[in-house]
Every structure is written in structure tokens, then in C-alpha cells.
A and B are shown apart, each in its own frame.
Chain A
């Protein structure tokens, strides 16, 4: 399904908002947004990128066609696995750093290892583990905590790793655990969770 939106003549942030609406409501496989200025071109392509879409831009006369494709790991193709137990709390843990706390880096790394090892003590309430920003460095080959995260994944914990962040650090090919995800999945997960813990 291809969705096309004409955003010519609209000022920021309207083109981004229309793109957001269309992606959220219609989940198109391909979305094409027509804009007539540089700022909108940049903003719409950046928004699509932040949602994990593969973005290409074509110029036609004075207009730009910003085209986003749902790639691997984006919302449309990968249904979200829910932990089905009803009446049970769902805890989402968001890890935004490769160390725990600020101060001594070496100590921070040890604490993170210990934290992830101990996390399973939450039992069945532990629902999702999300890695963003520097946190994605924990999921790549060579990471000390990789075996611990892999163990959690085997136990059925849903592991999500931010695709934008992996791309930013050029680590996309080195990720060894979890599903590559996008901001829409993360925001949806936050909404579904009973509790979100930020580390």
C-alpha cells in the first residue's frame, strides 16, 4: 500500500504532523510526501528516519518527493509479541547508557553488568528491555553484558534495540541480540507498560 500526501504550501511543522498521522493511522508500506521547500524536505525525511523508515528523495521541478519505505524491523512488518498473562504487571526497562549512573566509568560498567544479571529477579513482570543511545553498545559483539542479555531474551523477555542509535554509532551490523526498533515502537511500548524504569 502506498500512501501519498501533498504538503505543498504548508509551513513547518504541518508536513511532519501529516506524515506522522498517516503513518500512525494507516501503516502504509510506502509513504510519499510531496513538499515544496528545503526545510520541509529536511524535516519530513528526518521524521521518517526517526521512525525507522528507509528514506529516499526525488526532486521534480521545484518540488521534492520524500519517499519512506518500511524496512526490516519496522512496525508494519513485525507484530509486537505481548506477554499474554492477564492481570499481571508489565514492566518496561529502558537503558539509555552503557554504564549505570554517573561518576566513575569503570564502576558504572560493573554496576550495569550486575544490574542486568539481577534484573531477572523481577520475574514474569519484566516485560520489555529497551536499549537506546549509548545503551545500544551493550548489545553488540564484544560487550561484556551480551551473554546476560541473550539469556534474558531466551527466557522470553522482549529485547528492543534502537535502530537510529545503531546507525548513528555505525553498529547496525554488529548487533547480536534483540530486535531493531524505532521510536514509534518505543513510545507504544511505554504506553502499554504498567511501569517504565529508566536507567
Chain B
């Protein structure tokens, strides 16, 4: 759901809490975290959506990579998962569902996660995703909110999947782009998360529906700092620029802009198309990492060396202006 609508729906409802809830609804992070013992905390998350690519096997992989990502973004390790399936059984061949589930399962196996159950309903619209449980040491939880002034911001996947998916829906994307972007979306954030575990990382989230600027806005809301972004350094899928120029921008990107543009200052040199890409909702996007300034170069170098070639330092946390994102 668009960010503003969800806030309106939840506004005024009181949610009970528990002293063992380390990260709960009040903080609205990537996943919930519950302390089991002094050494073990459990991470829980759920995510499902309608198909973003035509190939059912790849859709299964992407949906699973996307659901697992929330655990990685908290710094944790996913262990078990349950399938969530909504399927139009009267209109669609059951073989399609089999391929989706196989895709999801293969991605879970790659991640070292075991499938322990699931739930399915009949629905006019196909949906698939996972509920995932992971674990972490209670002292090592990474939330969105612990950035420090001076931190460098690192992004680990290129932006523009929402725009490319819109072009795919319109039949205007080339086979080559579809293949590259499908693989990008199906790539686990596991390796990036594992590598960042060895560095002084202060905060982390993953980029999904709110777009880069929406997720950055969450990281600085009600905090005594802002962010300066260098748009030239941000990795972008080259074709997304062409498609955005043709008007193939998903409605979600405009909704994200409407909701967050009050927090963003664009330098005049930042093209409108680039602005839209920074608001573009991502499917199974990369990690957004806030790392101690003097270690940022080393972290990016290691990410690139270990196959995450798009990883780049895209900005920094500034003491001033507070709660604003300045894009150059």
C-alpha cells in the first residue's frame, strides 16, 4: 500500500507490547525482533505480492529473495520459512503454481533456509511470498534508525526495477533487459549482509516499495541529522532512464514522491527522470547501509570484490540540515 494510506489506517490503534519485543510496530522497521534469551533474538517478517515477471519459476525466486531480504537487513540469519499462496485454481494451470513453489524453494535452499509449512487460498489474483523466521544476537540488531552524522551510505543493487517492470507489462522491454533485471531481483542480499557484518555498520534497511528516497526518509525522520546524496554515484539500470523518459513510470513512484518530496531538496542539475528513479518502488532491492566513514571505502571494495559489483557509496549523513535529504 502507498505509505500515506498505511499510516492513516494504523493511526489511532493502540498496539500492546511486551518487554521482550526489541523491535516492534512502534519503530516500524524491516522486521520484528523478539528476545528469546540474552544471547538469542528471533526475527519475524512476511512479504508477498503479485507477479512481477512472466516466468513463474523466476517469480518464485524473486518473491522468496524479497521476503528473506528483511531478515538480512536486520543483520540476522534466516532459518525457517512458510509459503503464502493465493492462486486462481479454476482459471490457471496447477503446473504454474508448482513452478512458482519450486523457484521459491530453490531460493530458500540457496539461502540455507528450510521450508516448514505454508497456507494457500483461492484468489482471483495470483500472489506468492513467504513468512520468514531468522535469528540474531540481541546486541547486534541493525535497525533503520541508528545512523550517525558522518556515516557513509552504501547501496548494493541498481535502482529502476519498478520502471523496467512497467515497461515489461507494456511489452516494451527487450529480452536482454528482462533477463538482467530478473536476475538482479532474484539475487539474495545474503552475501552483502554477511560482508557488512564485519564492518562498523550503524544502520541498515532494504529498498522496496517506498523507493530509495522513501527508505532514506524513514532513516532520518525524527532524527537530528540529514542526508546528502550524490545522484551521479547512484547505480541505476541504464534502460530505466530510457523507459522513464517515455513515461513508463509506475504510479507508485509518483505516490512516493507526493508523500516524501517535502523532505527532499533536488539541486537544479538533477534531471526529473533521475528524480523519478530515486522514488521508483523496487522489487527485492538492495541493502542501504550506513557505515562508519573511515571504513566505507574498504566495505565497498570488499562487496565489489565478492561479486556485488554495483555496490557504491551514494551519500553521507550530515548534521545539518536535520531531517532533510539534499540530492546533488
Q: Which residues of A contact B (CB under 8 A)?
A: 11-13, 16-17, 37-40, 42-47, 50, 164, 183
Q: List 11 extra interface pairs beyond A13-B167, A13-B247, CB under 8 A.
A: A17-B170, A17-B172, A38-B254, A39-B253, A39-B254, A39-B255, A42-B249, A42-B254, A43-B248, A46-B247, A46-B249
Q: Which chain A residues border B258 with CB–CB below 8 Å?
A: 38
Q: Which chain A residues border B140 with CB–CB below 8 Å?
A: none
Whether, in the assembled complex, B235 has its beta carbon less than 8 Å from a beta carbon of chain A, the answer is no
Whether the Cβ atoms of A16 and B247 lie closer than 8 Å is yes
- Nearest residue (CB) in B for A38 is B254
Q: Which chain B residues border A43 with CB–CB below 8 Å?
A: 247-249
- Nearest residue (CB) in A for B272 is A46
Q: Which residues of B contact A (CB under 8 A)?
A: 166-167, 169-172, 244-251, 253-255, 258
Supposing A13-B169, A16-B170 touch, asked if A50 and B251 sit within 8 A by C-beta, the answer is no
- Minimum CB–CB distance from A100 to chain B (whole Å) comes to 20
Closest 9 CB pairs of A and B: A47-B247, A43-B247, A46-B247, A39-B251, A13-B170, A39-B254, A16-B247, A17-B170, A13-B166
Partner of A12, one of B166, B171, B245: B166
- Minimum CB–CB distance from A182 to chain B (whole Å) comes to 11
Partner of A11, one of B247, B249, B251: B251
Q: Which chain A residues border B250 with CB–CB below 8 Å?
A: 12, 39
Whether the Cβ atoms of A47 and B251 lie closer than 8 Å is no
> Can you offer 15 A-B residue contacts whose CB atoms are under 8 A?
A12-B166, A12-B249, A13-B170, A16-B247, A37-B251, A39-B250, A39-B251, A39-B253, A39-B255, A42-B247, A45-B247, A46-B245, A50-B245, A50-B246, A183-B246
Supposing A13-B166, A16-B170 touch, asked if A50 and B247 sit within 8 A by C-beta, the answer is yes
- Nearest residue (CB) in A for B276 is A42
- Nearest residue (CB) in B for A14 is B170
Cα–Cα distance between A17 and B169 once the two chains are bound (Å): 10
- Minimum CB–CB distance from B199 to chain A (whole Å) comes to 32
Q: Which chain B residues border A50 with CB–CB below 8 Å?
A: 245-247
Whether the Cβ atoms of A12 and B251 lie closer than 8 Å is yes
- Nearest residue (CB) in B for A183 is B246
Cα–Cα distance between A149 and B254 once the two chains are bound (Å): 42
Q: Which chain B residues border A164 with CB–CB below 8 Å?
A: 245
Q: Which chain A residues border B172 with CB–CB below 8 Å?
A: 13, 17
Q: Which chain B residues border A46 with CB–CB below 8 Å?
A: 244-247, 249
Q: Which chain B residues border A44 with CB–CB below 8 Å?
A: 247
Whether the Cβ atoms of A16 and B254 lie closer than 8 Å is no
- Minimum CB–CB distance from B53 to chain A (whole Å) comes to 16
- Minimum CB–CB distance from A151 to chain B (whole Å) comes to 32
Q: Which chain A residues border B171 with CB–CB below 8 Å?
A: 17
Cα–Cα distance between A1 and B246 once the two chains are bound (Å): 24
- Minimum CB–CB distance from A177 to chain B (whole Å) comes to 24
Q: Which chain A residues border B251 with CB–CB below 8 Å?
A: 11-12, 37, 39-40
Q: Which chain A residues border B244 with CB–CB below 8 Å?
A: 46
Cα–Cα distance between A43 and B254 once the two chains are bound (Å): 10
Q: Which chain B residues border A183 with CB–CB below 8 Å?
A: 246
Cα–Cα distance between A12 and B248 once the two chains are bound (Å): 7
Q: Which chain B residues border A40 with CB–CB below 8 Å?
A: 251
Q: Which chain B residues border A11 with CB–CB below 8 Å?
A: 251
Q: Which chain A residues border B167 with CB–CB below 8 Å?
A: 13
Q: Which chain B residues border A47 with CB–CB below 8 Å?
A: 246-247
Supposing A38-B254, A42-B254 touch, asked if A16 and B245 sit within 8 A by C-beta, the answer is no
